[in-house]
Structure 1
């Protein structure tokens, strides 16, 4: 006994078998694959394909639109929302809107759309079919060669992926072995540097103390020389006697020139040491340097003149300046202002700290290099290089195209740029963000974003359209909108196996 479910479905199976076994009646404008939908029912009726109503079978293609979806008039122009099928034997069948049927224009290559217009349309399907097949074979050959290269690149990409992932664990183990030494040397470096810094600070503080004492003595000596009336204070008139304060070089020290250094009526030693000494010392140095500079210029001019003055005259001029300078204290001893070398015990600690830094830097550099390699391998493992990893073969590679005065550069998984042809650097057009192809064809597009900001506009971005080609080549660059670029890149990586592609003849 048959199961109940089979008994229930048996009439439907028999009906389907009856439809397939009997000869299907042709209907104008309907492809063979849909003829079963247009066969007369047992009641000689036709049900609209949208199921909205049932009409007499004789109303099919009667040049009157009965069905809302236009399905009753596939072979006439009665319905504006219907389609006529051109069988185009010898070429490729296709649909056209039914409003083009019998409009005296030949739309189907077999002329079947003008069956009742009185226009004689030549059948050119064989000719178009031959041209289409030649073009199809040409494209297929390119795809075939590209697909073969893609398989090679896939092997290269997978090998690269396997190599990087294989190296991760040994790299981690090597890093783990180095980490104790890194921690040890870092601790020793800190101890040595702390000891070095402590003795250096002590040496520097002692020198600062000695230097300050010497500075006080020099300031006191100079204060005593400037205090002409020996009353323990320096007034502005006493300070005016020093020609090195003659800033405008008019041979006279004015009250205004003195005010720049003497801000009180009378300056005692403490005020002089804290607020006047350093500024006056600098002014005097500048004055003496100017004198020496002028003397050198005078000597150079004297040598160039025919009637140069005698050497005795030059010596007399030098003596005059020397005498003028000797009225004031000479330059402070420069050696007093330079910190003496560190003592041997400090130098020994410095050498020890230097060696500790060298040991730590050496092992730390190795650890950092290992960390970079581990990150690179992990990033590679987490990146999308296609289902077969073929795109990994183009990582770190770039492709250029010259357009007028610019060179555009496309770097898969990197950054796109625009630069003046021959220039070293350029403008960023965005960094790789994601594969942006439609569902089912994800790897047909790339999106690059966050490029250099446009003036008074958005950040630059690039969309990459990827097409099949025998070679990797950037073939087109456009800017359809301000700061939004469109590249077309041909590559074997976009080639599928043409011998496995399914061609759909009917829509």
Structure 2
């Protein structure tokens, strides 16, 4: 402090006694009463703010406890779901193995008459028969329609010739005029002999004289398998099913022992595809649940500060306008620097851990400062690389405050930042001996 320099230093000597010699005629009046009054006023405001901050911290701690409980409940739910998924997968794996086993020994039965081509011929024959019947029916309905139209036209023509034009009936006159308009229109050709000849040809039944001789396509030589199943057709149904099962199992045994080659037909059956799809879907579900379970377990084991209070703040952000830049602090995620002249965001670090920092500063009158003692700090590292320097990093030192806010940002070294911030989350935290314990801030 400068004494007798002609300047009244009221911040350090409120009664003005630093200028007792009255150098240059300087006379400093006693302002201790006013200073004390202002200090008591600000002190009262700080106490009220600290009381509100302590209440806010209790609310954050309660919210954090609720969130932790939700994570723990979700872990229990996922564990139960995974147990059920595992049982389901075991059942589906057994089903798939059984279907695959049956597929390896699958024997394709030939029809009792003809082979595969014979089946296709019969299907085509039946389909063509249905279409031919439909054509015949449509032609019959067409002829009936023609007869009715001709009959109605004859009635209307007779009506026009025989009605009395002197009879004053507007309805009758309108009917006659409508008939005259209809009769004057060009009519499409109704009778077409060539078209009818084509219909006659289509309507003929198939056979030796018809369009297709199906007997040529149905003649096939019987294979050994056909003979086997023709013999089987004479057996009672129950014995036939029993024999079929025994033959299938015998084939499977021969395939599994390398005596007989497996069937190589037209790919997998629908049953096998469905079994594979059901197993794959169940495996995807359990994989997703296991991933969520691992993430929730890791989250529950993370350090979120005393009482896990920062869990309630994670992801929330506060900003500070600092002239050329706007700085953003997002709790337990990242810090960023935003240029007001454009250019996007600069990552100043991602959260890595909690720390304890010892500070020794005077607390400003408004209380927005660190003061003295050990303080909770948040370390943010591995930010965007600094040209000709390290990756950016930030150290956020916290003090108790009624609301979350950034106070000051200082670049202590190249691309190494120190931020001072206030938050109710650190109110009542005793960080001595590196232990975070809650206490009464007041």
> What TM bracket, shorter-length normalisation?
0.3 to 0.5
The two structures have a TM-score, normalised by structure 2, of 0.46
